[in-house]
C-alpha cells in the first residue's frame, strides 16, 4: 500500500466538482447550439441584447439565492417588481417639477426603501407569523399585483417625458462597450458572493437552510437570518426596477409577470438547493443567462413559437430538479 506524504508548502490538489460546473457547461452547450442554428447569434448586437435582458432576472435571482439557501421561497418577486416600479415612477413624476433630473436619484432611493420594506413584510409574515413561505408570498404576490393594478387604474403609469432622456443611459448606456445593466449586475453578484461566502451572515444563512433546529442550538437566530434574506431579496428587486424603468418607460399590471418562475428556475439551474443549505451565486447568474439564451434562440430559429417560452422554462425547472435528485 502506498501513501502520499504532503510536506509543508506542498499544494493540495483541488478536485473539480463537476456538479458545480454543471450550469457553466450547460451554458456553453446552449451557446454552441445557438451558433449552429443561427450564424448571427454571436453578433455583438445580439450578445449585448441577451446579456442586458438577462440582467433583471439575474439581479433578482441573486436575492432569491439568499432566500432559498436560508430555507425560504419568494413567489412575489414579479408582482413586487411591478409595485416598486410603479411607486418609483409616481415619486419621480411628483418630484420632477421642483427637482428636475435629480428626481431620478431620489426616486431610486425611494424604490430601494420600498423594496426593502416589501421584503421585510414577507420576512415577518414567514418568521413572526409562522406561515409557510409558499403561502405567505403567494398572498403578497396577489397584494402587490392588485396594488399596481389599482395605482394604474388598469392601464399604465408612464414616466414624465422630461425624465426619459436623462434616465435613458441607465439601461441603454455603456462603459467601454459594456452595457450599464451588466455592470450593475456584476456589482450585485460580487457583493452577494462576498456576503454568502465570506461573512458570518452567509454561513448562518446556509446553516438555517440546512437544518434550522441545529442552527438554533448553535446560537443562530433563524428568524432574523431568514427575515434579512427576504429584505435582501426586496432590495435586489428594487435594483432591477431601477434598471428596468428606462427600458419601457412605464409600469403596468403585467410588469414582471411570471418573473418568479424565471428567477426560481435560474437559482435551481445554478445549483442552489431548493430545500436550502446550499448556495451558488455565480451558478445563479449562469442560470439566468441560460434562460435568456434559450428564449433568444427560440426567436432566432423560428423552430418553436416564442409564446412557448414559459412552457420551456417550466420544463427546464422540472429537469433541473430531476438532475438534482439524480446527483444526490
Contact yes or no for 20/197 (Cβ under 8 A): no
For Cα atoms 50, 53, 59, give the angle at the middle one, nearest 5 degrees.
120
Q: What is the pLDDT of residues 245-256, one digit of tens each?
A: 999 889 999 998
Per-residue cell: 48: 449585448
pLDDT at 277: 80
Q: Identify the three-state secondary structure at position 269.
A: helix
Mean pLDDT of the chain: 87
221 or 318, higher pLDDT: 221
Contact yes or no for 219/225 (Cβ under 8 A): no
Q: What is the pLDDT of residues 164-222, one digit of tens each?
A: 999 999 899 888 888 999 999 999 999 999 999 999 999 999 999 988 889 888 888 99
pLDDT at 48: 87
Q: What is the pLDDT of residues 89-104, one digit of tens each?
A: 999 999 988 888 889 9
Please provide the DSSP assignment of 197-214 as one string: HHSHHHHHHHHHHH-HHH
With cut-offs at 50, 70 and 90, classify the pLDDT of residue 2.
very low
pLDDT at 25 over 80: yes
Enumerate the H helices of the chain as residue ranges. Answer: 18-37, 44-69, 77-99, 103-127, 133-151, 161-167, 169-172, 180-198, 200-210, 212-217, 222-248, 259-269, 281-301, 309-327
Contact yes or no for 244/81 (Cβ under 8 A): yes
Contact yes or no for 237/31 (Cβ under 8 A): no
Give the single-character DSSP code of 249: S
Residues 33-49 as b or e (16 or more Cβ within 10 Å = b): ebeeebeebeeeebeee
Contact yes or no for 317/244 (Cβ under 8 A): no
Q: What is the mean pLDDT of residues 70-99?
A: 94
With cut-offs at 50, 70 and 90, classify the pLDDT of residue 223.
very high
Q: What is the pLDDT of residues 46-73, one digit of tens each?
A: 888 889 989 999 999 999 999 999 999 9
Percent of the chain with pLDDT over 70: 91
Contact yes or no for 107/88 (Cβ under 8 A): yes
With cut-offs at 50, 70 and 90, classify the pLDDT of residue 306.
low
Contact yes or no for 247/56 (Cβ under 8 A): no
Classify the C-alpha dihedral 258-262-268-272 as positive or negative. negative
* pTM higher than the cut 0.85: yes
pLDDT at 303: 67
Amino acid at each position: 500500500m502506498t501513501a502520499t506524504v504532503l510536506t509543508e508548502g506542498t499544494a493540495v490538489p483541488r478536485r473539480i466538482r463537476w456538479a458545480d460546473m454543471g450550469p457553466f457547461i450547460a451554458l456553453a452547450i446552449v451557446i454552441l447550439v445557438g451558433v449552429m442554428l443561427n450564424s448571427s447569434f454571436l453578433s455583438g448586437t445580439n450578445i449585448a441584447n441577451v446579456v442586458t435582458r438577462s440582467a433583471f432576472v439575474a439581479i433578482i435571482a441573486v436575492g432569491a439565492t439568499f432566500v432559498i439557501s436560508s430555507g425560504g421561497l419568494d413567489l412575489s418577486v414579479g408582482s413586487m417588481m411591478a409595485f416598486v416600479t410603479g411607486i418609483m415612477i409616481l415619486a419621480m413624476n411628483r418630484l420632477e417639477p421642483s427637482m428636475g433630473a435629480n428626481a431620478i436619484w431620489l426616486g431610486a432611493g425611494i424604490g430601494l426603501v420600498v423594496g426593502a420594506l416589501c421584503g421585510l413584510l414577507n420576512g415577518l409574515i414567514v418568521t413572526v407569523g409562522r406561515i409557510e413561505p409558499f403561502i405567505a408570498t403567494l398572498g403578497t404576490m396577489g397584494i402587490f399585483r392588485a396594488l399596481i393594478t389599482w395605482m394604474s387604474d388598469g392601464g399604465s403609469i408612464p414616466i414624465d417625458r422630461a425624465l426619459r432622456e436623462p434616465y435613458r443611459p441607465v439601461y441603454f448606456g455603456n462603459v467601454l462597450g459594456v452595457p450599464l445593466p451588466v455592470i450593475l449586475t456584476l456589482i450585485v453578484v460580487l457583493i452577494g458572493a462576498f456576503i454568502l461566502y465570506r461573512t458570518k451572515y452567509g454561513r448562518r444563512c446556509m446553516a438555517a437552510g440546512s437544518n434550522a433546529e441545529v442552527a438554533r442550538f448553535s446560537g443562530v437566530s433563524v428568524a432574523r437570518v431568514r427575515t434579512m434574506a427576504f429584505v435582501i431579496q426586496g432590495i435586489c428587486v428594487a435594483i432591477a426596477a431601477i434598471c428596468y424603468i428606462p427600458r419601457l418607460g412605464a409600469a403596468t399590471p403585467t410588469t414582471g409577470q411570471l418573473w418568479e418562475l424565471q428567477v426560481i428556475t435560474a437559482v435551481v439551474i445554478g445549483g442552489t438547493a431548493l430545500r436550502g443549505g446550499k448556495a451558488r451565486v455565480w451558478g445563479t447568474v449562469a442560470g439566468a443567462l441560460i434562460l435568456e439564451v434559450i428564449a433568444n434562440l427560440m426567436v432566432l430559429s423560428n423552430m418553436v413559437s416564442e409564446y412557448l417560452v414559459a412552457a420551456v422554462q417550466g420544463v427546464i425547472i422540472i429537469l433541473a430538479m430531476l438532475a438534482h435528485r439524480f446527483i444526490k
